[in-house]
């Protein structure tokens, strides 16, 4: 199992881009009329994506397993209205409040593939009926991770029992991930 806290403590965070997901930035910019609501960002890391949601007027909760990530994100965005961070295990089977939106960015590919059933169950539990899941998936072939690869067939078959697919597309991305990401916009059944 990956020791995420140790990675933050030793500065071993190669996924970190010091900026939010370009696909998320474009998604929100293109849809200024989306109804505002509560957003959950699991595996939020340093919190750049959570900050984008909060800045757009969504009440945002970033979760991460690693206390050092939550401490860094809380310090970086101290005072930002509508944004908070908590140390929590997204996969833990605990009673949860459900959100209007859940945003996924490099958490699905970070967890061990044998935890993917738990991930989908957690996502389904966390999004209210009619709410939305917006995901940026990483389409790489790697089986030795993290990151662990996936593909469109796996994503569609895993999430379809719980969510209706509204749209999927190749987003603008970071230079070293161009063409390797695909975004999925789902609505909870
Ligand atoms: C690859 S990093 C991505 C961070 C951030 N989403 C980004 O794109 O910069 C994966 C993150 O998920 C967190 N994580 C891993 N398993 C988790 C779990 N079960 N619950 C919550 N966070 C988790 C790790 O601590 C790490 O911050």
Question: Does residue 63 fall inside a structural domain?
Answer: no
Where in the sequence is the domain holding 175, given as residue range(s)?
Answer: 100-105+124-189
* Residue ranges lining ligand 1, Cβ < 6 Å: 4, 15-16, 42-45, 63-66, 69, 89-91, 105-107, 110-111
pLDDT digits (tens, 9 = 90+) for 16-44: 999 999 999 999 999 999 999 999 999 99
Q: Counting atoms of ligand 1 from 1, which one is nearest the CA of 4?
A: 25
Rounded distance, CA 110 to CA 116, Å?
A: 10
Residue 146: strand, helix, or coil: coil
Does residue 96 surpass a pLDDT of 90?
no
pLDDT digits (tens, 9 = 90+) for 55-78: 999 999 999 999 999 999 999 999
Would you give the end-to-end CA distance of the chain in angstroms?
Answer: 32
Question: Does residue 82 fall inside a structural domain?
Answer: no
Question: Does residue 160 fall inside a structural domain?
Answer: yes
Rounded distance, CA 6 to CA 140, Å?
A: 25
pLDDT reported for residue 142 = 86
pLDDT digits (tens, 9 = 90+) for 107-165: 999 999 999 999 999 999 999 999 999 999 999 888 898 999 999 999 999 999 999 99
Question: Does residue 59 fall inside a structural domain?
Answer: no
Q: Bridge-partner residues for 138, per DSSP?
A: 181
* pTM for this model (two decimals): 0.97
Give the pLDDT band of residue 176 (cuts 50, 70, 90).
confident
Question: Does residue 149 fall inside a structural domain?
Answer: yes
pLDDT reported for residue 45 = 98
Alpha helices in 30-66 (DSSP H): 48-55
Question: Does residue 66 fall inside a structural domain?
Answer: no
Question: Does residue 29 fall inside a structural domain?
Answer: no
Question: Does residue 159 fall inside a structural domain?
Answer: yes
Counting the structural domains of the chain, the total is: 1
């Amino acid at each position: 199992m990956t020791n995420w806290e140790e990675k933050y403590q030793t500065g071993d965070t190669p996924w970190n881009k010091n900026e939010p997901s370009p696909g998320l930035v474009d998604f929100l910019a293109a849809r200024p009329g989306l109804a505002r609501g509560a957003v959950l960002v699991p595996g939020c890391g340093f919190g750049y994506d959570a900050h984008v949601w909060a800045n757009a007027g969504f009440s945002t909760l970033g979760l991460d397993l690693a206390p050092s990530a939550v401490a860094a994100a809380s310090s970086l965005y101290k005072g930002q209205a509508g944004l908070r961070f908590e140390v929590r295990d997204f996969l833990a089977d605990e009673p949860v409040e459900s959100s209007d939106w859940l945003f996924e960015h490099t958490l699905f590919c970070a967890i061990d593939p044998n935890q993917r059933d738990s991930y989908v169950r957690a996502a389904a539990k966390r999004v209210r009926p009619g709410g939305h899941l917006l995901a940026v998936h990483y389409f790489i072939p790697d089986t030795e991770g993290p990151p662990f690869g996936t593909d469109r067939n796996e994503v569609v078959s895993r999430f379809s029992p719980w969510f209706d697919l509204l749209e999927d597309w190749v987003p603008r991305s970071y230079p070293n991930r161009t063409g390797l990401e695909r975004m999925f916009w789902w609505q909870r059944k």
